[in-house]
Structure 1
Amino acid sequence: MNTSAVLDILLQGLETAAKLAAPVLLTSLVVGLAVSLVQSITQLQEVTLSFVPKAVGVAIALVVCGHWMISEMVAFTSDLFTRIPGLLGMA
């Protein structure tokens, strides 16, 4: 196994992690921004008003994108397993 193979695996892992985290993070960002805007307009500063909508939004994002996220993880993992013989010099 050489350095370029390790860097390639690392790059693919980071790319996969970013793709999997994007729907949850973007949903949380949008919901948090909307709630903050409503709170600043109404001058209502309640902590639970910020937390609960974000938790609901993230749960909905996980339900909607969950199947895609799992299939991406399985594809990445099976790609790694198929590359093991080549990385060890057996192929």
Structure 2
Amino acid sequence: MGDLSAIFQQATQVILAMMLIVLLPGLLAGLLVSIFQAATQINEQTLSFIPKLVVTIVTLMVTGSWLLSLLMDFTRRLFDTIPFVIG
């Protein structure tokens, strides 16, 4: 039972790490654009959407290979522990 909880804990850590790396730059870009919009009183929805989209795509392009290797390492460890979990 301890093996399964460790696997779920590792899976949660990998998912959170991958999610934060992709979403945090977009969140910061949205915050900066919102501050700019509030300061200049410009209320245009596309002005906040496009920078978040661009930053998220650039983040995926820059960190995509690292994220894929992180996921592959976790999957490889998961497959290596299958015999120990089954019995």
**TM-score > 0.5 by shorter chain:** yes
Q: Paired residue for 1:86, among 75, 84, 87? A: 84
Q: 2:5 and 2:79 mapped to 1: Cα distance?
A: 16
Once superposed, which parts of structure 1, at least 4 consecutive aligned residues long, lie more than 6 Å away? none
Aligned-pair identity in percent equals 38
- Aligned-residue CA RMSD in angstroms? 0.7
Q: TM-score, normalised by structure 2?
A: 0.96
Task: Give the paired residue count.
Answer: 87
Q: CA deviation at 1:52?
A: 0.6
Paired letter, 2:42: L
Cα offsets for 1:9-43 (capped at 9, x unmatched):
11000000011111111111110110001100110
Match of 1:69 in 2: 67
Determine if contact 2:4/2:85 at 8 Å carries over to the other structure: no
Give unmatched runs, 5+ long, in structure 2: none
Q: Which runs of 5+ in 1 are unaligned?
A: none
SS in 2 for 1:63: helix
Distance 2:65 2:30 in 1: 25
Measure, in 1, the Cα distance between the counterparts of 2:77 and 2:63: 21
- For 2:21, the equivalent position in structure 1 comes to 23
Q: Which amino acid aligns with 1:36?
A: S
Pick the structure with more helix per residue.
Answer: 2
Which of 46, 55, 60 matches 2:53? 55
